[in-house]
Amino acid sequence: MGNPIFRGSGVALVTPMNSDGSVNYKVLEQLIEFHVENHTDAIIACGTTGEAATLSEEEHCKVLSFVTEKVNGRIPVIAGTGSNDTSTAIALSKSACESGADALLVVTPYYNKTSQAGLIKHFNVVADSVDIPIILYNVPSRTGCNIQPKTYAELCKHPNIVATKEANGNISSVSTTRSLCGDKLDIYSGNDDQTVPFMSLGALGVISVFANICPAQMHEICQLCLENNFAEASKVNFKYLEIMTALFSDVNPIPVKTAMNLVGFDAGECRLPLVPMSVSGYHDLKDCLAKYDLIGKYLNK
């Protein structure tokens, strides 16, 4: 693509919550500044990690508007606007456009799922409704719906469908998609631990959970890859692989919100049906963060 939405590390931003379960906008603003200061290359709001599934449409739109306003053009803001209902995805996408989002992240339909033909129709109808670029989001472990490489080849014919966040875990599939789509579809890794191999195949970066607590480190990994220094990028990746793995020791975003509380951000708890980590899981995560001297590191941010 001639003008990618971003290159490097995009953070899949958590949505901090107050003790009563409402959105904590004070901490949300704090996190935005933290990421800008630490060289995060884009902010993705209201995605899976942002607990979009438990935000009301009003909350969803308010969070996106707030993030866009506070970022104020310093880095791209990508709005999660996907739904298993096409009309809802369109409504959320139009609202995000009105709020000034730079791009949209649109997940495949979930629960009702659909066929490959249904995916093509769904995404094209959403793309027809807006005038900003769309990143498709393929995460079959959550949705039960997998975008096939040939489907990507059809979808990228739409001028607004310009990229995908690929989280199917299949390197061979990424290679095939790159072969079929070439420069018509940018690829971002949807898994932190696959960023380096994805970028070696031409991906432009990652939409990262790990970046919530280590933004500078994730930016560094991506920047080294963009400089074709994959040997050094692998070293940094291996250094932090234990944390990346620990952040998926329970259902996302339970571990990352727990980690953020431990490193010094008041992210609060997840909304039901997600519940706190087990005692043993909590202590394993805390021990992992302690190895990297991250406990309380950002208390004064």
The pTM of the full predicted model, rounded to 2 decimals, is 0.97
The catalytically annotated residue of 137, 152, 188, 240 is: 137
Per-residue pLDDT of the chain (301 residues; tens, 9 = 90+): 469 999 999 999 999 999 999 999 999 999 999 999 999 999 999 999 999 999 999 999 999 999 999 999 999 999 999 999 999 999 999 999 999 999 999 999 999 999 999 999 999 999 999 999 999 999 999 999 999 999 999 999 999 999 999 999 999 999 999 999 999 999 999 999 999 999 999 999 999 999 999 999 999 999 999 999 999 999 999 999 999 999 999 999 999 999 999 999 999 999 999 999 999 999 999 999 999 999 999 987 6
Using the 8-state DSSP alphabet, how is residue 125 labeled?
Answer: H
Is residue 159 classed exposed, middle or buried when 0-12, 13-18 and 19+ CB atoms within 10 A define those classes? exposed
Note whether 255 and 276 are within 8 A (CB).
no
Specify the amino acid at residue 172: S
Note whether 93 and 129 are within 8 A (CB).
yes
Rounded CA-CA distance 181/217 in Å is 30
Rounded CA-CA distance 301/298 in Å is 5
Rounded CA-CA distance 69/151 in Å is 35
Bridge partners of 186, per DSSP, are 163
pLDDT of residue 2: 63
Residue 126: how many CB atoms within 10 A of its CB? Answer: 26
Structural domains of the chain sorted by starting position, each given as residue range(s) with its CATH number in brackets: 8-230 (3.20.20.70)
Show the tokens assigned to 262.
């431990």
Helix runs in 156-265, H state only: 171-181, 195-200, 215-226, 230-246, 254-263
Show the tokens assigned to 107.
């997940």
pLDDT of residue 243: 98
Rounded CA-CA distance 174/273 in Å is 32
Active site residue 137: yes
Note whether 267 and 260 are within 8 A (CB).
yes
The catalytically annotated residue of 70, 152, 165, 240 is: 165
Rounded CA-CA distance 112/171 in Å is 27
Rounded CA-CA distance 219/210 in Å is 11
Q: Is 268 helix (H, G, I), strand (E, B) or coil?
A: coil
Nearest to 165 by CA among 187, 147, 143: 187
Residue 299: how many CB atoms within 10 A of its CB? Answer: 10
Using the 8-state DSSP alphabet, how is residue 278 labeled?
Answer: P
